[in-house]
Amino acid sequence: MTGTPAADPALPGYLRRLLAAGDDLPLRHRMPRPTATARRSAVLILFGEGPRGADVLLIEKSAHLRTHAGQPAFPGGGADPGDDYPVGTALREAEEEAGIDPDGVRVLATLPELFLGPSDNLVVPVVGWWDDPREVTVGDPREVARVARVPLADLADPANRFRIRHPSGYVGPAFGVAGMVVWGFTGGLLDAILEAAGLARPWDPADVRPLPALGARRPQLPGTLDPVEDEDAAAPTVADPAADGPPASTVPPR
């Protein structure tokens, strides 16, 4: 891991613990070796302090995409020519997908690269801190269905944790938060982050559920998701595309 301010007393304790343990993130030991054709990619793991405490930014990809359609994810994507990879790639994608101003993000570290065999991507997670959170918006609705700042407390809540079984036979950690079922690479990375940050709580890994239909929201998973009316009334931290005009904001400008 590079750029590790793990001893910075201005950062929350959970984040310092994550940075200190980043080189040994549990997930990376379960990853296969990358192929020679793997595409360089990066994701931004953006932490901040929101209306309900510490949170992390997630997006839900559009159901119309050819790959990863309808899946929750960290903002990110493949490197473009001229990117300052991987940090520049992660920040550019976060700006395009969620309206994140790169100047407002303090980049703390890059975690070890992770290989995603099914999509042939070599992904570098970039850890960032939002000193002064601003507006969060849906970027291009053709690519992003929604954006959410998800409280870490919700991710760690055992009632929101289970495992997902994919029709291919894959079984992995999942979360029912912010009206989304977070699974796959993102679910596995969040599981490892909670463990490394010292936030993980005991949960029931024997609770295995089938993968919801593509783009499904708020499936009937007991104890995982709140009604949308309650969720939106609790805190302005979720953005859906506006029917017309500019995208909806989630955090009032300061």
**Model confidence over 188-232: pLDDT tens digits?**
999 999 999 999 999 999 999 998 875 444 333 332 223 333 333
Examine residue 242 and state whether it is found in any structural domain, yes or no. no
Region 129-133: mean pLDDT is: 88
80-94 residue pLDDT tens: 999 999 999 999 999
Average pLDDT along the chain? 81
Domain containing 97: what range?
Answer: 13-234
Least reliable range by pLDDT among 44-58, 126-140, 156-170: 126-140
State how many domains the chain has: 1
The CATH code of the domain that includes 67 is 3.90.79.10
Is 246 within the bounds of a domain? no
7 in a domain, yes or no? no
Look up the pTM and report it: 0.83
238-252 pLDDT, tens digit per residue, is: 554 554 544 444 444
Q: Is residue 247 one of the residues assigned to a domain?
A: no
Q: 226 in a domain, yes or no?
A: yes
Tell me if 65 is assigned to some domain. yes
pLDDT of residue 29: 56
86 upstream amide cis, omega within 30 of 0? yes
What is the pLDDT, as a whole number, of residue 236?
35
Q: What confidence score (pLDDT) does residue 252 get? A: 40
Residue 8 maps to a domain: no
CA atoms within 13 A on the CB side of 152: 24
More confident residue, 244 or 116: 116
The answer to whether residue 254 sits within a structural domain is no
Please give the backbone phi and psi of residue 181, each rounded to the nearest 5 degrees, phi first. Answer: -105, 110
